[in-house]
């Protein structure tokens, strides 16, 4: 019996360190797993952010702002129209008038409303969007101005201008950071071959005798 107990004691001496090592290894593995989990989540987070960045954005919201600009234009309200520009905005109209900052932009619009654009309407279509960020878009569209008058008071043809805008949303809705509106010039007419040919002096041609004219002196006349 004493020999059996002594043998069990020796066995426990060998088994105990092994159990201790397994317990420590399990604890270490658990610690490694818990340490690895945040790394995996950190790696997964950029993927989620990248997936959230989609091409395109709030095109309807920007078009709505342009509709509000049309309404303010039709009412002749320069202040309401300028409210759709950011405080640090800039505007250059088709006549070359420039305003920097909302206060100057409003003055440019007032001058337009008091001048050739008085009583007119402007609508926008043919939109093309380039999204730089979800709150930052480059916009190309066509503006059509109607209701203009000629110098004699008759109705003028609608004026089409190209509008290029930098449109941003800084938490106050979509506003114009920069607007460039311009009309395209017609290329000059091509010069035809006939008009490019040198003009012939008709008087000189009439006074110059032809070789077939009987009255014309012969080449030998001077030798006689």
Tens of pLDDT along 61-89?
999 999 999 999 999 999 999 999 999 99
Average the pLDDT over each of 12-26, 83-97, 140-154 and give the range with the smallest value: 12-26
| 3-class DSSP string for 49-66 | HHHHCCCCCCHHHHHHHH
pLDDT band of residue 116 (cuts 50, 70, 90) is: confident
> If you average pLDDT over residues 201-209, what whole number do you get?
52
pLDDT at residue 201 in the model: 55
| Residues whose CB is less than 8 angstroms from the CB of residue 136 and which lie 6 or more positions away in sequence, other chains included | 166, 167, 168, 169
Higher-confidence residue of 220 and 50: namely: 220
What CATH class has 59-182? alpha beta
């Amino acid at each position: 019996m004493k020999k059996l107990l002594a043998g069990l004691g020796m066995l426990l001496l060998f088994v105990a360190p092994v159990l201790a090592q397994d317990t420590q290894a399990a604890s270490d593995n658990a610690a490694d797993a818990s340490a690895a989990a945040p790394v995996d989540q950190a790696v997964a987070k950029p993927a989620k952010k990248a997936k959230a960045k989609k091409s395109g954005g709030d095109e309807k919201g920007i078009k709505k702002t342009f509709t509000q600009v049309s309404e303010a234009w039709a009412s002749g309200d320069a202040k309401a129209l300028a409210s759709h520009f950011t405080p640090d905005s800039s505007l250059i109209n088709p006549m070359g008038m420039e305003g920097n900052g909302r206060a100057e932009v409003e003055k440019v619009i007032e001058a337009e409303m008091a001048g050739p654009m008085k009583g007119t309407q402007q609508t926008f279509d043919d939109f093309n969007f380039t999204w730089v960020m979800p709150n930052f878009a480059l916009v190309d569209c066509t503006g059509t101005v109607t209701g203009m008058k000629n110098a004699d008071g008759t109705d003028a043809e609608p004026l089409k201008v190209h509008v290029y805008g930098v449109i941003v949303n800084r938490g106050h809705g979509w506003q114009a950071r920069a607007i460039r509106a311009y009309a395209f010039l017609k290329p000059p007419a091509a010069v035809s071959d006939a008009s490019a040919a040198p003009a012939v002096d008709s008087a000189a041609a009439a006074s110059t005798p032809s070789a077939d004219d009987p009255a014309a002196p012969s080449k030998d006349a001077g030798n006689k």
